[in-house]
Amino acid sequence: MTDPQDKPQPLPELPVISRRTAVKGAFATLGVAAFAGAMSPLKELVTRVSPAELFQQHYQELTAEDKERVLLRLEQEAKQQYGADVTIGDDRPLPGTKFVYAINLSLCNGNAKCVEACNRENNHDKATNESYIRVLEMTKGTMDMGHGNLTYNHEVPAEGKFYLPVQCQQCDNPPCVDACPVEATWKEEDGIVVVDYNWCIGCRYCEAACPYHARRFNWKQAEIPADEVNPDQSYLGNRIRPVGVVEKCTYCLHRTRRGRLPACLEACPTGARVFGNVLDPDSEIRWLLKNKRVFVLKEELGTKPAFFYFFNE
């Protein structure tokens, strides 16, 4: 006879799932997974960006107390990440100043000391030797920057060549400012085009819009040994930039807005660089613009640079 043990156990009753429900469930799962995947950068954001930074307002909308808090936070971050004691100031334009730069191309011999000084002064990445200045070696008699040589590595000045240092021209009609979709970059009263590195979204439109190739993108966090960090910093100037934002030459506003000369000028061994306040009628730069034959780069673009070049007559 049949043993009770042999009696087939009734199969557990599974809920009846229609094909439709299964498909719906599968797609819902997929959807949730896709959503989670799409949102996953937020996880990184949470670890990388503090809430204070995430909710920080645009620089121009910060109150005095806000700024104090922000600068303190940035100083602490620099201490944390680089082990350097830095002071970050909030340097505003001096009333009655309009900065203009000029380079005497007859004197410039392409030794690139300005490039090095810029790297050190502005807390650039030491691994890539980043700098706001590029020196082009150009054949005499030509003015085509597309054919300028950036990689020359020989004794300078070479025969038949001249050297054209190019950095931000602080245009009075800056295309980079127009290109920014979030107004993270703007022109200030003393003519300096600045970037709020904490407002920049890193779209790099400005980099593409600049006809002088003057803007740089922070592909990675700058590597700087603690003793090489320049501790004299400014919010809109040379503070260590976060990764993924655009940076640019600010005429060393952390120096020039405190009355000092830019670092590239002080480093120039040939004395080719002239800097000053063009609104001061007695300034060297004013005399230069009135009496020397100066030219600007790519004048036809209508960018109105505040950066001039001249030759000895």
Partner 1 sequence: MPYWLDSMCNVQLIRRRASTNAWTVGWLVLIALISFYMIRDMAGARRPVYDLKPAAEAIMAESESAESAELASVDPAPIDPAPASTESAAAVVAVAESTQRTFNETRPVAAEVAARNPKQRDADALKSAESAPATVYPVVIRRPEGPPIIELEQPDPLGRVGKLTCSTCHSVRPPNRERRRAEDLKEFHRDMTFAHGELACYACHNPNDSDSLRLADGQRIAYPDVMDLCAQCHGAQAKDYARGLHGGMIGYWDLSRGERVRNNCVDCHDPHAPAFPHMIPTFKPRDRFLHPHEESTGHDVSDEQED
**Footprint on this chain of partner 1 (rule: CB under 8 A):** 94, 98, 104, 107, 109-113, 115-116, 119, 127-131, 134-135, 137, 139, 146-157, 172, 177-178, 183, 186-189, 191, 256, 258-261, 265-266, 268-271, 274-279, 281, 283-284, 287-288, 290, 292, 312-313
Closest approach, Cβ 304 to partner 1, in A, equals 9
The whole-angstrom separation of Cα 62 and Cα 59 is 5
The whole-angstrom separation of Cα 204 and Cα 187 is 17
Q: Which is nearer to partner 1, 41 or 225 (CB)?
A: 225
Query: Token pair of 28, please?
Result: 């819902």
The whole-angstrom separation of Cα 205 and Cα 246 is 10
> Which residues have CB under 8 Å from 18's CB, separation 6+?
none
232-234 and 193-195 beta bridge pairing: unpaired
Q: Which is nearer to partner 1, 94 or 203 (CB)?
A: 94
Closest approach, Cβ 247 to partner 1, in A, equals 13
Q: Which is nearer to partner 1, 53 or 157 (CB)?
A: 157
> Which residues have CB under 8 Å from 289's CB, separation 6+?
100, 102, 278, 308
The whole-angstrom separation of Cα 160 and Cα 138 is 9
Q: Which is nearer to partner 1, 78 or 218 (CB)?
A: 218
Paired strand residues for 104: 310
Closest approach, Cβ 288 to partner 1, in A, equals 6
Which residue bears the tokens 């980079």?
176
For 49, phi and psi rounded to 5 degrees? -110, 125
Do the Cβ atoms of 184 and 201 come closer than 8 Å?
yes
Q: Which is nearer to partner 1, 27 or 287 (CB)?
A: 287
Q: Hey, is 148 helix, strand or coil?
A: coil
Q: Which is nearer to partner 1, 76 or 128 (CB)?
A: 128
Query: Token pair of 303, please?
Result: 């960018």
Closest approach, Cβ 260 to partner 1, in A, equals 5
Q: Which is nearer to partner 1, 72 or 143 (CB)?
A: 143
Q: Which is nearer to partner 1, 137 or 247 (CB)?
A: 137
Give the H or E element holding residue 164: strand 161-166
Cis, peptide link before residue 165, omega less than 30° from 0:
no
